[in-house]
Structure 1
Amino acid sequence: MQNIVILAGTIRQAPETRTTRTGTDITRFRLVTSRPRYSEGRVVRDEKGYRVEDAEWHRIVTFNGLGKIVQQYCQTGMKVLVRGRIHYTKWQDAKGEDRYGCEIVAETVDFLSRAPQSETDDEDEGRFIDEDDIPS
C-alpha cells in the first residue's frame, strides 16, 4: 500500500526554516485548498449564483534541498502543487496531555504561479540590460 498525497493550493503562510541540532534544515509553510460545497448531490450557490467553497488548511514540511528552494522562491499568495505523504505526529503538551497533529511531508513542490508582485515592482526589472552597462 502507498501513502500518496497530491495537493494544489495557495501558500497562505510564508515558509519558515529551522535547523535541527543535527544540521537538518526543516522548512514549513501553510497551504490552503478549496472545494465546492455540496448539498443533496448539487453544488451549493450563494444569492449571486457563485459556488460556495470550503477551505482546507494543510501544514506542509520540506527538508534540506527542497526546503531551501521553497524558502528562496515561495511566497504568500503563490499557487503550488505539492506531492508527498501524510505524516501523523503525537506529543505531550506542558500539562502531560497527549496531542496529535497531521502534516504533509513534501517530496516535490511545483510552482503553478509566480509570487504576487506589489504595485511598486517594475515588471521589466532584470529582463533588459541597459546598453551603457555593456563593456565595449
Structure 2
Amino acid sequence: MNFVKNKKLLKIYSFLILGVLANPVLAQSSMGPTAGSTGLEEAAQGTGLITNKSFAGIISLIIKSLLSLLGMLFLVLIIWGGFKWMTSQGSSDKVNEAKDLIINATIGLVIVVISYAIVRWVLDALVSVQNGPAGGGDG
C-alpha cells in the first residue's frame, strides 16, 4: 500500500514539476522588432558589453578565457586532491600523493595568477602605445 501511495505521489510531483518547467514564455512579441530604440544597445555599449574589439582586445579576451579555464582546472585538482586525501584510509603513501597534488595545484595557481598579471601589463602597454600617450595635446 505504501509503495502504491509513494508511486502515486511521485507521478503527481513529476507532473507538477514538468508543468512548472514547461510553461510557455509569453514575453516575446510575435510582431517583430518595434519602431524606435529601446536604449538597450546604448546601455550595453556603456558597460563594455558591446565593443569594437581591436587585435589586442581579441588576444586579451582569448588569454583571459584560457586563464579562466586554468583556474577551473586548479579547482578540480584541489577537489581531487582532497578526495584522494580523505579516501587514503591512513596510508601514508596515498596521503603524501594527495598532498603533492594539492601543493602542485597551488603552485600552478600561483603561476596562472602571475602570468595573468604579466599578460595584463603587456596588453595595457600595447593598448597605450596603440592609442598614444594620455593627454597629448598641441600645447
TM-score category (smaller protein): under 0.3
Higher strand share: 1
* Higher RCO (C-alpha 8 Å, min separation 6): 1
Structure having the larger proportion of residues in helix: 2
- Please identify the structure whose Cα radius of gyration is greater: 2
